[in-house]
Structure 1
């Protein structure tokens, strides 16, 4: 089995391209200037920093898990600390192309961006959930990279870190906007995901799976549709206005309302059928959403 090589620093990545990092904690790289110099025994690499890769020129194939993903010109791929990418099939005869922004968690620690970095959920998306840019969007990304690169090329002063981190945050905010656009332009496909989600959720409860395995989780339904939990959650939020967990709870309560009309079932039995380990947790959730306890709701109707 090939080894997993850990990329702890920005320079660990750069050295694999025979390049030098502009800064130990952050760098903007023109991949066209690099040449592959990877460890022949390496089957995969694990990133310990944040990375955004803008693909330009020839198609690029990356392997994530057991699948290959073919990236066209203008694709933006994000990786976060802890993610592993398979490089066992990397063709080192093809010259790398495109641009990369790399920044270490230590750079943003204690900054505004460091406090909100979890909001940029696309760092936890899987590779096949990449961002596909228009020509105009691509230019905006390159402009952001140019600003960061310019600042890195200047003499370091007390303002340098703030300016660099602010420009990284600006870039990430643009990416949030671009992902919103991508969710909208793929509306018909997204609706298929929502329909499948709702159907699977209903089946999970009505077939008795909830009683056996507990309340359904977001990751369960994301895995069913071969999506990362973060991408799936963001898609559900864009289409329904609710988070994936809110949507699950909403459907659970709607199903509970139907079950409450069955006089042969106790409230506790209904709670167990819906996946609650403790009936009082079901009662508390039902009352918070409906305004009445399950028993009161049954009496009123």
Structure 2
């Protein structure tokens, strides 16, 4: 596996000069043909790929925008460039920046809010022509600052333009969630079905309380993308959504006075009855025992 641990190493791989040790705009077209292989980045990357988007799929659907695709990578992610071992010519533009660039700044504290850095490549951002112009302009502004002689304003201006770019990408992802509503609706339906199967089948008792990661994996989505999608479509986080259904099931089971609350807690996937009691009281406002007495 190829490891890009510095901005310089990545830039030189694609025959680009390193204009700043912590951030660079890399023209991938300048590279000689490279062998496809696994690689890891130790920094952030925002890459505009110039390709016909009909060749890419979102689940079982083709992407419906053909103007351009943006993919995001966070530090430590392992990316597989398939088919491995094949020679290919890279193309596009990569904005790469090291976590050290934003340390101690507001963006450094908020970077985790840009969850698309953990999306999978098939959850890429597809840009309309106007959106692509905005992203390209942001790239250009950052490049201008990188090429300037460094002064006391350089870092603040570079990071400010970087933050503006990420804010625009958040807006464009919001748009994509809306324009792909028919696809998203299908995912919500599948989630509902898989959640009900889990809660009403044997998995709840054998595997315990379901997690967001479990359903994301079942739907072939990254946990962050899945969580953002559920939030956009339902107004609740994926965890809140799961817990809401679990509480509804718990209320129904509590009415069965033939079973003790301990038995019910085990059936609902809790290892210890006190964990179930604490969870139920937190969500409902009264303990399971009190709830049974009230009803």
TM-score (norm 1): 0.89
Alpha-carbon deviation of 1:61? 7.8
Alpha-carbon deviation of 1:137? 0.6
Equivalent of 1:282, from 276, 280, 292?
A: 276
Q: What is the aligned residue count?
A: 286
Question: Could you tell me how far apart the structure 2 residues matched to 1:210 and 1:58 are?
Answer: 43
Question: Could you tell me how far apart the structure 2 residues matched to 1:188 and 1:58 are?
Answer: 22
1:218 aligns with 2:215: no
Contact 2:67-2:128 at 8 Å conserved across structures: no
Question: Could you tell me how far apart the structure 2 residues matched to 1:61 and 1:35 are?
Answer: 23
Alpha-carbon deviation of 1:73? 4.0
Contact 2:45-2:97 at 8 Å conserved across structures: yes
Contact 2:33-2:87 at 8 Å conserved across structures: no
Contact 1:15-1:37 at 8 Å conserved across structures: no
Question: Could you tell me how far apart the structure 2 residues matched to 1:36 and 1:267 are?
Answer: 67
What stretches of structure 1 of length at least 5 have no aligned partner?
Answer: 63-68
**Residues 233-252 of structure 1: per-residue CA shift (max 9 Å, x gap):** 11011111111111111110
Equivalent of 1:20, from 17, 20, 23?
A: 17
Alpha-carbon deviation of 1:72? 5.0
**Residues 256-301 of structure 1: per-residue CA shift (max 9 Å, x gap):** 1111111111111111111111212211221222222211211222
Question: Could you tell me how far apart the structure 1 residues matched to 2:257 and 2:188 are?
Answer: 32
Question: Could you tell me how far apart the structure 1 residues matched to 2:40 and 2:203 are?
Answer: 36
Question: Could you tell me how far apart the structure 1 residues matched to 2:193 and 2:42 are?
Answer: 38
Alpha-carbon deviation of 1:85? 2.0
SS at match of 1:122: helix
1:35 aligns with 2:31: yes
Contact 2:204-2:268 at 8 Å conserved across structures: yes
Question: Could you tell me how far apart the structure 1 residues matched to 2:113 and 2:227 are?
Answer: 12
1:232 aligns with 2:229: no
1:294 aligns with 2:280: no
Contact 2:7-2:24 at 8 Å conserved across structures: yes
Equivalent of 1:166, from 160, 177, 183?
A: 160
Question: Could you tell me how far apart the structure 2 residues matched to 1:103 and 1:199 are?
Answer: 41
1:5 aligns with 2:7: no
Question: Could you tell me how far apart the structure 1 residues matched to 2:3 and 2:149 are?
Answer: 31
SS at match of 1:110: coil
Q: How does 1:1-301 map to 2 (within 5 A)?
A: 4-32=1-29, 34-36=30-32, 38=34, 43-56=37-50, 72-87=66-81, 88-92=84-88, 94=89, 96-301=90-295
Question: Could you tell me how far apart the structure 2 residues matched to 1:268 and 1:57 are?
Answer: 57
Counterpart for residue 59 of structure 2: none
Alpha-carbon deviation of 1:55? 1.6
Relative to 1, partners in 2 of residues 1:167 and 1:59: Cα closer, same or farther, differing over 3 Å? same
Bigger Cα displacement from structure 2, 266-275 vs 172-181: 266-275
Counterpart for residue 65 of structure 1: none
Question: Could you tell me how far apart the structure 2 residues matched to 1:273 and 1:79 are?
Answer: 40
Question: Could you tell me how far apart the structure 2 residues matched to 1:89 and 1:58 are?
Answer: 23
C-alpha RMSD over aligned residues = 2.0
Question: Could you tell me how far apart the structure 1 residues matched to 2:193 and 2:33 are?
Answer: 49
SS at match of 2:45: strand
